[in-house]
Structure 1
Amino acid sequence: MSLQDYNKLKELLAQNKKWPLLYMFKFIVPNTEGKVQKVVDQLPKHGSVTFKHTKNLKYVSVTCKASMKSPDAIINVTNTISSIDGVMSL
């Protein structure tokens, strides 16, 4: 994600007046070199995580639903995970 995308996401999240907020993180992760585990390690520990593999097992969709305290907390998680090589944030 670009800095502009993060700023837009933060602005949209800040419009919500009810915090904490149940947020759904979703990432597409290459199924190589332990990258799925790297992503899971960066997700909120209190969240529920689900996985869905592509038919050829080349990629894994990682979804996490977690109660988040602020827009900054969401941006921090998204930014950290998006910096892992090959990971796409949805």
Structure 2
Amino acid sequence: MALKDYRKLRKILAESDNWPQLYMFKFIVPNQHGKVDKVVALLPEESDVSFNHTKSMRHVAVTCKAVMKTPDDVIKVTQEATAIEGVFAL
């Protein structure tokens, strides 16, 4: 995701004054070289994480519901996850 996209996401998240709040992350992750484990390691410890594999098993949809303190915390997790080669945020 480009920096400009993070600014837009930050703006949307900041419009809510109700922080901390429940946020749902969703990442599409290549099912190779431990990338799923790397993404999961970035997610908050106190979260509900689920996985859905594609039929070909080449990718995994990682969904995480977690209480996040600020919009910047959401941005940080998203930036770190998408820095992993082949990972996309939805």
TM-score range, shorter-chain basis?
over 0.9
1:31-71 deviations in whole A, cap 9, x for unaligned? 00010000000111111100000001000000000000000
Matches of 2:18 and 2:63, distance apart in 1: 22
- Describe the SS at the equivalent of 1:81: helix
Could you list the runs of 5+ residues in structure 2 that have no partner in the other structure?
none
Match of 1:45 in 2: 45
Shift of 1:85: 0.4
Q: Which secondary structure does the structure 1 equivalent of 2:16 belong to?
A: coil
Shift of 1:76: 0.4
Aligned length: 90
Q: Quote the RMSD (CA, aligned, Å).
A: 0.4
In 2, Cα distance between equivalents of 1:76 and 1:21: 16
Gaps of 5+ in 1: none
Give the SS at the match of 1:51. Answer: strand
1:74 is matched by which residue type in structure 2? V
* Corresponding residue of 1:10: 10
**Runs of 4+ deviating beyond 2 Å:** none
Identity %, equivalent residues: 56
TM-score by length of 2: 0.98
Q: Which amino acid is the alignment partner of residue 11 of structure 2?
A: E
